[in-house]
Structure 1
Amino acid sequence: MSNSATDRATIPQTLWAARGRHPGPAAEDVVRRTLGRHKESGDIDDFAEPPAPDDSPERTFEARWRAGGTVTVRARLTLVPRAGRPEGQEWTLVAEAERPWDDAWPSPATLFWPEAGPAESAEGAWDHHPTIAGLRFRQANALPEDDKETRRRLKDAARESWCVHVVVHEAMTPGEQGRLPLARLLPPGLRHRVMEHRAAPQQFRAVNWALKDLGVEVPRGGAVLLPPDPAPEDYDGREHSVRTVFLDGAEPTGLVAALRHFVALPRPLPRGAEEALTDLRENWTLTTLQEELERQRELVAMYADALEAMTKSRDLYREAAEQAHQALAALRDAPAPLPQQQRSGARTPAALQQLTRTFERLRLTAKGPRPAPAPDGPPTAPGAPGTDGAGAMEPG
């Protein structure tokens, strides 16, 4: 696993991002119905479905709401059919707030997707991991019994940086409450950005063997967060290890603290997230009247700057052209050149020098600043006498 930073931009603290997979054939219908219900209830201010190009299989949905009643949030969900699969769509969801994200705010996932409903129904099957089969956001995903398969799964999970992967070890076989996923006990803003991997009591050694390559280990009866890839320079896995996690239905305070610390790290944006965020910012269609007015003002200012630059360029070219015409006129009025033998040491006519300088300015106007011209002066006459006295007369 890479431990060095990359050139990717860091995750803004105003951003909430996740991606997953809906295995059914009608994901867009589920999203439309869910957004419609939330608009009727007032949970969101409005939503839209921007038209897609005729040859694009993607479907895009936008929604805006006010988190905490005052903070505007803009969100965009994109559905893409799975390559080579007759059914199922992968989804990407990015939401950006006007100020740093508060994990007490509602999860954007539950404003586009239904939070309740049977897990395998069309209304509730949206929470599958996009690339690793068998993983779901709202479940305690049991690690495979095969040690090598466990190692492979955790390695694959570590490369997936859209969500936070947590490995929880059961110190003893839990009761009914303990078998429920911990995600239901997390703050809403963290709930659908965390993937829980559950290790049975007898898997303690096997899971730490699998985690060895990642540089972390899970305490017995505790939990550990898989490190990001690439990890920040000052990353310390011990800060994201929880010694004890009680599986009795109580709030896992230690795990919540570790998760909050983790998501606040200056981590690089996941692959594809930067493009999704840029698309949200630059191609947003669900604008208010005030936002549209401000956008038109920005366009007017941009066009005014461009027009001013064009006008300045035109004036520069006009001035240079006038100087060129003056130089040509002066050259026409100059006397005829002398025969070759009579002008071997003559200087270049002043009109020709002026014309040359004018055309040089014309050439450099568009390319950049003109270098300073060399000083004009007569060339050194060849064969000038020296000072060594070679021409002195000899005494008679």
Structure 2
Amino acid sequence: MTRNNPHLRGADPRVAGGRLTVDLDALAANYRFLAEQSTPAEAAAVVKADAYGLGTGPVVEALVAEGCRKFFVALPEEGLAVRRAAPEADIYVFNGLFSSEAASFYREGRLLPVLNSQSDLAIWEAHGWDDEDTPRPCALHVETGMNRLGLTPERARILAQENALTGALSPRLILSHLACADTPDHPMNRQQLESFQALCELFPDAESSLANSAGIFLGGEFLCDVTRPGVALYGSNPVSGTENPMRPVASVHSRIAQLRHVPVGGTVSYGATPLDRDTLVAVTATGYADGYHRSGSGAGVPLRAAVPEGAFGFIEGQRVPVLGRVTMDLTLFDVTDLGPDALQVGDFIELMGPNLPVDELAAACGTISYELLTALGHRFERHYVRGGDRI
């Protein structure tokens, strides 16, 4: 699929300003680890937002090869992309039904809606598809404290009573979302679990799912029947303040477009950041249009008042700091300490990867790894690697 899909190949390598490499072996290893941590529950996979920016097709194929049989997306079009890569999987769509016309997407892809409201319930009952032996298969999202999407506890109880009589819907899965799972001792976790368990009792024939990536590491009762790892699959640390057990999956490198010497007292980029020494500047062909956030700038953005250091690159075994403001298509790095002849135009500087973890870059940008990964642009040349070989 990867070789024949221009979208997944990304930009032509002869002219691309940057390169995104996705290590499918690391992805598979992360899934195996999370599945082990989820035992005795089944580990599904959250692959919304184009598999967190890394490409739905290759990611889903790699996860299917590891035994993953349940996937979660946000929107039905994402579900159709998963279906092409996983013909036999159960595919759940988080964001529910916007109108009766949406039901045709679910029917086409045999997608399972997550019903979040009275409107969703009514639309699916009237327009949903029937399985071989069950009417209108679906999942139900129940609200336990996040107050985002989901049926209120009162509405869930009414539905349970009504559906027991009519059998109009066939809930396969009851789910809710933990708000504070990445803070293991937060009291909200236990409150949500207890509320969720009480609501699951209303639907004894359905499986239950509460734990996201961080929730898996709460263990015990939080695991329920199905876990839903997302960002941890892609290499981000699922629990704040702990050593990251996940392998890095995505690496981003930017091509050097120009090397230039700027004397002490000179300035660089928008806002004219002054230099306090003679500086060798590497101008790289990646910027915020590619998802490399402007807030990672070395100077000239308000975040630097709170977090003094901006982002770094990595090349020739050394970290090199971003200079001045990141711009739309270009980012500057101070490579003086590498020496005058260490680099040349066309070399690549690592922006994120084994030497610069995604969570570290996210912290420098004042954001989270989710935002960085899903913002990765399609101007990168894309490499998918398995068994040491590009596929």
TM-score, structure 1 normalization: 0.23
Larger radius of gyration: 1
Point out which structure has higher relative CO (alpha carbons under 8 A, 6+ apart): 2
Which structure carries more strand by proportion? Answer: 2
Q: TM-score, normalised by structure 2?
A: 0.23
